């Protein structure tokens, strides 16, 4: 069985109560759930929460919900606790709760390598960066990968460094620089192994949990996607999400 788990933490430092933030009359976590349900490969979608208010809201809109401890150090730990309770979950998908408009096709793209190659135990998504602002932003994580599409490194800095480029625009035009999209697919054993490993040096320096895979020799398959996602981390992001939803909700003008 392939199970999508959406971790939803109430106490976000930059946007308190984030799962319940209103977007077009619905809480953000409901948008994420409904988007994830459009996947054709997921057998089940579950929301893992750490707050009674979020638990009640999720119950009210009809999703399956698990309560998890407030002291989980990461979303991966939260979904691992839920996955341990679902014995027949062979593949687990970590769908970020703050990505309200994640496309079902993106989830399916990330799952596919684990269906066709038994050697792949972890996969995630990447999209080519096409503007300088994204390349320079430390909140946009970059990834480089080998000829078999396995990750070599993740960083908040622009990688690779384009030595001969004379401008930032030339960097993204002359080299393929990829944005990492934080949707992860794990085989059950890989997820449980990962969450039992201690945080690693590079992980703590970059503040990127996915580096723990690489520092422990766990290979991460990178799947190219043409789609992008809108992650809501700050009040500014929330306003962008609201505007995006408003535009998408308007009826198309008929000619």
Q: The domain that contains 110 carries what CATH number?
A: 3.90.550.10
Calculate mean pLDDT across residues 161-165.
93
> How far, in Å, CA of 150 to CA of 123, rounded?
9
Residue 206 in any domain: the answer is: yes
Give yes or no for residue 179 having a pLDDT over 70.
Answer: yes
d(CA 90, CA 68): 21
**Has residue 22 been placed in a domain?**
yes
* Domain assignment present for 254: no
Tally of domains within the chain? 1
What is the pLDDT averaged over residues 231-236? 90
Q: What is the pTM of this model?
A: 0.91
Q: Which two tokens stand for residue 212?
A: 């723990």
User: In angstroms, how far is CA 153 from the centroid of its own chain?
Assistant: 17
Q: Would residue 107 count as lying in a domain?
A: yes
Lowest mean pLDDT segment, chosen from 26-35, 61-70, 201-210, 218-227: 61-70
Residue 232 belongs to what domain range? Answer: 2-249
In a domain, 255, yes or no: no
Instruction: State the average pLDDT for the chain.
Output: 93
Distance of CA 31 to the CA centre of its chain: 15
Helix spans in 186-234 (H): 188-196, 201-206, 211-215
E strand residue ranges, the chain: 2-8, 22-23, 26-27, 44-49, 64-67, 91-94, 122-128, 142-145, 151-155, 178-187, 221-224
Between 12 and 56, whose confidence is greater?
A: 56
Q: 35 lies in a domain?
A: yes
Q: 66-89 pLDDT, tens per residue?
A: 998 887 778 888 899 999 989 899
What does the block give as tokens for 135? 């390349």
Report the alpha-carbon distance of residue 68 to residue 51 in Å, rounded. Answer: 8
Q: Over pLDDT 90: what percentage of the chain?
A: 82
pLDDT at 255 over 50: no
The verdict on residue 186 lying in a domain is: yes
| 196 lies in some domain | yes
């Amino acid at each position: 069985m392939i199970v999508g788990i959406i971790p939803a933490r109430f106490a976000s430092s930059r946007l308190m109560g984030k799962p319940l933030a209103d977007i077009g009359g619905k809480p953000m976590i409901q948008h994420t759930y409904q988007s994830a349900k459009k996947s054709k490969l997921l057998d089940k979608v579950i929301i893992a929460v750490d707050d009674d208010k979020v638990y009640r809201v999720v119950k009210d809109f009809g999703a399956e919900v698990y309560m998890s401890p407030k002291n989980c150090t990461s979303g991966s730990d939260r979904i691992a606790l839920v996955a341990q309770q679902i014995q027949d979950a062979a593949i687990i998908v970590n769908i970020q709760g703050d990505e309200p408009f994640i496309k079902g096709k993106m989830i399916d793209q990330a799952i596919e390598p684990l269906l066709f190659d038994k050697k792949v135990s972890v996969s995630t998504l990447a999209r080519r960066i096409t503007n300088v602002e994204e390349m320079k932003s430390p909140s946009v994580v970059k990834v480089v990968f080998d000829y078999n599409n396995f990750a070599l490194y993740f960083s908040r800095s622009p990688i690779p460094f384009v030595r001969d480029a004379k401008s930032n625009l030339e960097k993204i035009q002359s080299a393929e620089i990829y944005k990492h999209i934080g949707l992860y697919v794990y085989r059950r054993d890989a997820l449980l192994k990962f969450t039992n490993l201690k945080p690693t040096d590079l992980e703590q320096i970059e503040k990127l949990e996915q580096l723990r895979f690489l520092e422990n020799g766990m290979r991460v398959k990178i799947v190219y996607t043409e789609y992008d996602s809108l992650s809501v981390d700050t009040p500014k992001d929330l306003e962008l999400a609201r505007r995006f939803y408003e535009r998408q909700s308007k009826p198309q003008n008929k000619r």
